[in-house]
């Protein structure tokens, strides 16, 4: 029996219509052997959390270019806690000012990958963190 594939949900919350970066990340994660679900544009936080629950994902990646990363991330973390989905890694990528990285991590975001982050860094981060989490189970 093979090793369980890492399951990643990539989501575009809110009214943000810029999805090229998300699609590039989706493709890279698939090429790295992960099972990736892409929600498409304009999803609500509740839709994202419900999909994560239904699909039993290891990681939620929010791609945000619209400048609303702080309230959306805070709401996502709160909903995950309400649903007792605290083991899911939450990554935020996109147009994220450096000054907001600490705030996002204080909310509970696992890692932030601003514009220009290397795909290999994202892939290795996910593999390492999901592997560490699975070793604890």
pTM: 0.94
Distance, CA of 56 to CA of 129 (rounded, Å): 16
Please report the DSSP string for 25-93 in residue order: HHHHHHHTT-EEEE--SSB-HHHHHHHHHHHT-SEEEEEE-SS-HHHHHHHHHHHHHHTT-TTSEEEEE
User: What residues does each domain of the chain span?
Assistant: 7-136
Q: Is pLDDT of 129 > 90?
A: yes
Q: Is pLDDT of 2 > 70?
A: no
The two beta strands, 59-64 and 35-38, are unpaired
Q: Region 77-92: what's the mean pLDDT?
A: 97
Distance, CA of 65 to CA of 137 (rounded, Å): 35
Q: Is pLDDT of 1 > 50?
A: no
Domain 7-136 architecture? 3-Layer(aba) Sandwich (3.40)
Q: Is pLDDT of 38 > 90?
A: yes
Q: Region 110-125: what's the mean pLDDT?
A: 97
Q: Region 108-119: what's the mean pLDDT?
A: 97
Q: Region 105-114: what's the mean pLDDT?
A: 98
Q: Region 49-76: what's the mean pLDDT?
A: 96
Report CA torsion sign: 118, 96, 15, 129. positive
Q: Residues 6 or more apart from 45 whose CB is under 8 A from it?
A: 13, 72, 75, 76, 79
- What is the band of 66 on the pLDDT scale with cuts at 50, 70, 90? confident
Distance, CA of 98 to CA of 46 (rounded, Å): 27
pLDDT, residue 22, reads 94
Q: Region 76-94: what's the mean pLDDT?
A: 97
Report CA torsion sign: 95, 101, 106, 109. positive
pLDDT, residue 134, reads 77
């Amino acid at each position: 029996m093979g090793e369980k594939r890492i399951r990643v949900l990539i989501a575009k919350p809110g009214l943000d219509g810029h999805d090229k970066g998300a699609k590039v990340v989706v493709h890279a994660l698939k090429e790295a052997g992960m099972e990736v679900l892409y929600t498409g544009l304009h999803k609500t936080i509740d839709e994202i959390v419900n999909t994560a629950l239904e699909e039993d994902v290891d990681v939620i990646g929010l791609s945000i270019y619209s400048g609303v990363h702080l309230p959306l991330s805070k709401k996502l973390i709160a909903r995950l806690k309400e649903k007792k989905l605290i083991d899911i890694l939450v990554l935020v990528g996109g147009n994220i000012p450096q000054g907001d990285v600490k705030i996002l991590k204080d909310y509970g975001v696992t890692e932030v990958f601003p514009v220009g982050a290397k795909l290999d860094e994202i892939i290795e981060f996910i593999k390492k963190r999901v592997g560490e989490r699975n070793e604890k189970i």
